[in-house]
């Protein structure tokens, strides 16, 4: 499929911001976005410095910390790790959903963490790397508002604890949602859209670690299986999208890089919150791609 061309006047920054906010409103979400031309530095800000809950997007920070430790010789990515069935982090994918003992290399656990957002694989890596090391990585990369407060298993556990004995159906109560630590950036894993595009830019510019390890990170981001958020805005064979999603009750996020055949590279971070806690909200998923496309078109104009 060939990318359609739109008149440049339709893509000015002010017009793009208006269209992005209108798209968020039509989808029934509040949203925050930052888009960055990795090579020119041009950017589009639509709430880029608003504090946001990262949820599984924070797995990108862990991935970079893992590869930095490999770069410094503190670990070997082919190192094997045991994963017994007991004590696995909750989740519907990967090792979290498996029933039997497993043995996996650190780099293959990283694949599961990024491709299918496997919480158990992430916590296995986090146990090896250390939470403090993840926060030190983001600090050194100039991301002062990006912070990992707890493991991914603990993130899910706070939702269950705060929802109480009534279980998932309690999330339909606005008072229950209001007390969830997992929805409060001050009490959970957090960042801003601008800091996430800065992190992506460091990976794409080979500044986060050695070039071959940045290439490994980019490869893993390109293997994510979910096409319904960021990638949905770029349905062209010649446009490549690599990213990482994040989800929690009412929250849908994705950060990633969109690459065009003319070598244009655009880091985009989109974070949204819906009024409804429903697990299936197609419009809320799709608006991430819509908003990203509007932003990238503005940068390309």
- Does residue 134 have a pLDDT over 60? yes
- Does residue 193 have a pLDDT over 50? yes
- The pLDDT, as a whole number, for residue 92 is 92
pLDDT category at 27 given cuts 50, 70, 90 is very high
Does 125 reside within a domain?
A: yes
Does 231 reside within a domain?
A: yes
Does 2 reside within a domain?
A: no
- The pLDDT, as a whole number, for residue 11 is 53
Length of the chain: 301
- On the 0-12 / 13-18 / 19+ scale of CB atoms within 10 A, 276 is middle
Q: 285: domain CATH number?
A: 3.40.710.10
Higher pLDDT, 58 or 276: 58
- Count of domains forming the chain: 1
Does 185 reside within a domain?
A: yes
- Does residue 197 have a pLDDT over 60? yes
- The pLDDT, as a whole number, for residue 1 is 46
Percent of the chain whose pLDDT exceeds 70: 96
pLDDT category at 72 given cuts 50, 70, 90 is very high
Does 23 reside within a domain?
A: yes
Please report, for the chain, how many H helices and E strands are present, in that order. 10, 9
Does 3 reside within a domain?
A: no
Mean pLDDT of the chain, nearest integer: 94
Average pLDDT over residues 198-208: 98
pLDDT category at 170 given cuts 50, 70, 90 is confident
Does 1 reside within a domain?
A: no
Do the Cβ atoms of 43 and 34 come closer than 8 Å? yes
Does 35 reside within a domain?
A: yes
Residue 125 CB contacts under 8 Å (≥ 6 apart), including other chains: 62, 66, 106, 109, 110, 113
- The pLDDT, as a whole number, for residue 13 is 79
Do the Cβ atoms of 170 and 164 come closer than 8 Å? yes
- Does residue 131 have a pLDDT over 50? yes
Question: Is-above-0.75 flag for pTM?
Answer: yes
Domain housing 181: 8-300
- The pLDDT, as a whole number, for residue 111 is 98
Separation between Cα atoms, residue 182 and residue 157, nearest integer Å:
9
Write out pLDDT tens, residues 226-270. 999 999 999 999 999 999 999 999 999 999 999 999 999 999 999
- Does residue 62 have a pLDDT over 90? yes
- The pLDDT, as a whole number, for residue 276 is 87
Write out pLDDT tens, residues 97-123. 999 999 999 999 999 999 999 999 999
């Amino acid at each position: 499929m060939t990318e359609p061309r739109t008149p440049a006047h339709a893509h000015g920054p002010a017009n793009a911001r208006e269209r992005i906010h209108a798209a968020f409103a039509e989808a029934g979400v509040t949203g925050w976005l930052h888009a960055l031309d990795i090579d020119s530095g041009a950017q589009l800000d639509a709430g880029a410095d608003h504090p946001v809950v990262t949820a599984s997007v924070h797995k990108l920070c862990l991935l970079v910390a893992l590869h930095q430790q490999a770069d410094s010789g503190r670990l070997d990515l082919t190192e094997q790790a045991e994963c017994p069935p007991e004590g696995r982090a909750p989740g519907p994918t990967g090792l979290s959903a498996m029933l039997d003992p497993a043995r996996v290399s650190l780099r293959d656990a990283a694949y599961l963490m990024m491709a299918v957002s496997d919480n158990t694989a992430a916590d296995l890596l986090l146990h090896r790397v250390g939470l403090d090391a993840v926060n030190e990585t983001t600090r050194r990369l100039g991301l002062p508002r990006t912070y990992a407060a707890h493991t991914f298993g603990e993130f899910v556990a706070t939702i269950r604890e705060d929802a109480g004995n009534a279980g998932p159906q309690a999330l339909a109560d606005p008072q229950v949602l209001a007390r969830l630590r997992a929805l409060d950036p001050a009490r959970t894993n957090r960042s801003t859209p601008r800091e996430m595009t800065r992190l992506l830019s460091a990976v794409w510019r080979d500044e986060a670690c050695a070039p071959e390890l940045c290439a490994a990170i980019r490869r893993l981001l390109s293997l994510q299986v979910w096409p319904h958020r960021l990638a949905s805005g770029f349905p062209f064979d010649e446009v490549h999208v690599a990213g990482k999603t994040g989800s929690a009750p009412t929250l849908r996020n994705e950060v990633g890089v969109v690459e065009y055949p003319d070598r244009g590279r655009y880091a985009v971070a989109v974070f949204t919150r819906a009024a409804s806690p429903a697990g299936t909200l197609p419009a809320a998923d799709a608006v991430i791609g819509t908003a990203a496309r509007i932003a990238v078109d503005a940068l390309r104009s």
